[in-house]
Structure 1
Amino acid sequence: MNATILFLPAHVDQPWRWLRVENDAVTGRGEGAPEAGADPTIAIAPADAVTLHWSSLPARSPAQAQAAARIVIAEASAAPLDGLHVAVGDEAEDERPIGVVANGRMRDWLGTLASLGIDPAVILPAPLLLPAPAEGYVRAELGGQSVVRGRTSGFADEARITDLVTGGSSPETLGRDAVEAAIVANVAQPLLNLRQGPFARRKRRAIDWPLIRRLAVLAGMILLVTLAIDLTRIARYAMAADAAEAQADALAREGLPRGADQGDAGRLLTERLSRLRGPGAGFSATVAALTSATREVDGTEVIAVAFEPTGELRATIAASGEAQANQLIDRLREAGFAVAASTFQSDGQRVRGDVTVALP
């Protein structure tokens, strides 16, 4: 693989160092921040900033494996877990590596790299660049820091700590060629990436223009189909309206006498109905209103009626008193008629008078 290996300095005053890997070989090295290129950048965390553990974790989902790893770390760490970032390594191993680093340290690394225009694909603890020995320990200098690795351990090489961990046995110092071969192998398949959970690298989604074009075509087809459905519905409604109008015209013509069906059937039928019922509201409607008002007012009755050619209905009304007569007149006016009344005269214990009822 092709990649840039960037060693994060253990201290602020230390220089940045980098290696260039191309075609499974180290082809360049230097100090300072490298220029960002098309090849991925793999950042190497200093050994004294990351605590490594190994544990047999079940092959579960990443979230479940990380939860199990936090339980393991809670038993082995004196620091509160709230301030620690826990990352789980490759599940293909019998014992999986677990990296523990302070959240603040991770934020500082990523912030500094971002200011340099670098977004590393992997942050790998420095000890995991070395090969895992079959037995004992190996030592090498990585990015200006001496690092020791055992089969299930990895740490910065400090005299007291190294003697304590190795039991006094001296680690084997690897040569330059062996170190570079191990670097090439371990960056090709990183055993542990600290960029997990809240520090995972954000995926940049490229715009799929062919997909967008297909979606645009589908949207256009949907709009055309919708428009065709609306036009078909409008045409059906128009045809139904024309059929209903033709049926109404035919029914209207059936109500006309023979020889009188020339012209607008609706207008001719209205004129005939007007002649049959009489002018104004017609005899039936006017008498019905007068009869309804008489039923509503107790003590009133209709003595005589006469329907005039002008559409007026003249009626003689008898009532128990003048108050009842006035109530009858009010009922007719509320029904929408104009009412003219004569003076009601006393007729024994009742009063009698004439009213004229017509449309206003």
Structure 2
Amino acid sequence: MSDTLLLLLPAVSDRADATACWWRVSGDAIVAEGADGDWRLQTLPLVALAPVAATRLDWPEPEGQTERQRLAIARANSVTQGMAEAATLHAVAGIVDDRLGVATVANGQVVEWLDWLTAHGGDPIAILPAGLLVPWSHGWTAASLGPEHIIAKGGLVAPDEPALRDALVEPGEEVALLASETVHQRLVWLARALPLNLRTGRFARRRLLLLDWRRLRELAALALLIPLLGLTIGLATLIRLDSASAALEAETARLTSAAIGQEVSAAAAAAALDTRIGATPGASGSPFPPLAALYQQLQPLTGVTAVSVAYRADGTLAASLAATRVEDVNRLLLGLQRLGYRVTATTRPGTGGQMIADLTLRSAE
């Protein structure tokens, strides 16, 4: 279990000041903490905690038949019931302590946090509401986390300020203060579980392109014919230049026959290859940029598999993909369009409950 650095985002984001409260989590314990700018010196996965005053937490009753429906409805309701325009809000939903929870924040606030973190060399894997530090309870519970003071009861989580406490807590009601040991336990839980991560959707962390060798081998095997045919054409052209050599003509015929799967003579090799790949005079372009773009978009989609890949002489890459969800195919198509490609796609039934998406990919230039 790797170490993690928890960082409490400041209430005011000053790009000239990197001071913030931080905790280093190792295993099941807090092994170091501070309230300074030294968090920038630690090369650990970073998890930021959003101040309570900037993030609204709700615990709605579930609506919908499936978990996906319940989460989607909870997010939509939280945005539409917000005090600002829906387009200016960002919401995430999930299961927290066996309850449906929703965190909502202004888009501008997330941008401000990310700008401050970037200015000081931070790129968090998650941004979590600090209000999750206090577990759901039927009674009033308070907790302190550096300069952050939290009070909560049931579905209400708010900053623990004197005037607000006086307005919320009825006379005679007790407020239980979380012990420092419990606070540390909750910090460890936040670092491991990453509940209600606000760094999703439009604010998702940019993924490094990590090679998935299983996926790479799959695409390489499907696209093997492209470089093989190109190499064979080159060899056939060079070999034909020396028609006097019977040995070279025999090699031309052998390579071409292996590439296209049928016996041909050396004299007919080039024509056979042209017929196989649909080559035309003046055709140009490399298959590798669109193939690399397709590979990049396929990599995070574990539910989508390439069935066939072919490159046409007019610069179009054609592919057939098997998928279990249309959403994954749509994500792939949008990703390719963002990279500057013109994409067309049609779907048809596949086997085993899957669908087949036949798409063409061509540079928009």
The alignment's TM-score, normalised by the length of structure 2, stands at: 0.56
SS at match of 1:35: helix
SS at match of 1:55: coil
Q: Distance in 1 between matches of 2:44 and 2:65?
A: 31
Structure 1 residue 236: deviation in Å?
A: 6.9
Which residue in the other structure is 1:25 paired with? 29
Structure 1 residue 10: deviation in Å?
A: 1.1
Q: How much identity, in percent, do the aligned residues show?
A: 29
SS at match of 1:164: helix
Which residue in the other structure is 1:141 paired with? 144
Amino acid of the residue matched to residue 11 of structure 2?
A
Which residue in the other structure is 2:8 paired with? 7
Q: Which of 73, 85, 89 is 1:84 aligned to?
A: 89
Q: Distance in 1 between matches of 2:96 and 2:131?
A: 18
Is residue 2:82 matched to residue 1:51? no
On the 8 A contact 2:79/2:89 being kept in 1, the answer is no
Which residue in the other structure is 1:74 paired with? 80
User: What per-residue deviation string (whole Å, max 9, x for no partner) do you get for residues 182-220 of structure 1?
Assistant: 211232213311112211222222135787688389456
Q: Aligned ranges for residues 168-317 of structure 1 at < 5 Å? A: 168=171, 169-208=173-212, 215=220, 218=224, 228-229=255-256, 232-235=263-266
SS at match of 1:106: helix
Determine which structure has more spread, i.e. the larger CA radius of gyration. 1
Structure 1 residue 54: deviation in Å?
A: 1.1
On the 8 A contact 2:78/2:104 being kept in 1, the answer is no
Which residue in the other structure is 2:339 paired with? none
Q: Distance in 2 between matches of 1:97 and 1:29?
A: 28
SS at match of 2:142: strand
Aligned pairs, number: 235
Per the alignment, do residues 237 and 30 of structure 1 end up closer, same or farther by CA in structure 2, a change over 3 Å counting? closer
Which residue in the other structure is 2:107 paired with? 103
The alignment's TM-score, normalised by the length of structure 1, stands at: 0.56
Which residue in the other structure is 2:170 paired with? 167
On the 8 A contact 1:129/1:187 being kept in 2, the answer is no
Q: Distance in 2 between matches of 1:31 and 1:127?
A: 19
Which residue in the other structure is 1:40 paired with? 45
Structure 1 residue 98: deviation in Å?
A: 1.1
Moved more, 99-108 or 29-38: 29-38
SS at match of 1:154: strand
Q: Aligned ranges for residues 312-331 of structure 1 at < 5 Å? A: none
Q: Distance in 1 between matches of 2:24 and 2:119?
A: 21
Q: Aligned ranges for residues 341-360 of structure 1 at < 5 Å? A: none
On the 8 A contact 2:91/2:105 being kept in 1, the answer is yes
Which residue in the other structure is 2:337 paired with? none
Amino acid of the residue matched to residue 161 of structure 2?
E
SS at match of 2:210: coil
Q: Distance in 2 between matches of 1:17 and 1:170?
A: 29
SS at match of 2:11: coil
Is residue 2:150 matched to residue 1:123? no
Amino acid of the residue matched to residue 147 of structure 2?
G
On the 8 A contact 1:16/1:32 being kept in 2, the answer is yes
Per the alignment, do residues 205 and 67 of structure 1 end up closer, same or farther by CA in structure 2, a change over 3 Å counting? farther
Per the alignment, do residues 205 and 151 of structure 1 end up closer, same or farther by CA in structure 2, a change over 3 Å counting? farther
Kindly report the root-mean-square deviation, in angstroms, between the aligned alpha carbons of the 2 structures: 3.3
Structure 1 residue 151: deviation in Å?
A: 3.4
On the 8 A contact 1:59/1:91 being kept in 2, the answer is no
Structure 1 residue 155: deviation in Å?
A: 1.5
Amino acid of the residue matched to residue 174 of structure 1?
L
User: What per-residue deviation string (whole Å, max 9, x for no partner) do you get for residues 155-203 of structure 1?
Assistant: 1102232333343423211221121112112322133111122112222
Per the alignment, do residues 60 and 115 of structure 1 end up closer, same or farther by CA in structure 2, a change over 3 Å counting? farther
Amino acid of the residue matched to residue 80 of structure 1?
E
Q: Distance in 2 between matches of 1:143 and 1:193?
A: 21
On the 8 A contact 1:59/1:65 being kept in 2, the answer is no
On the 8 A contact 1:47/1:127 being kept in 2, the answer is yes
Per the alignment, do residues 159 and 110 of structure 1 end up closer, same or farther by CA in structure 2, a change over 3 Å counting? same
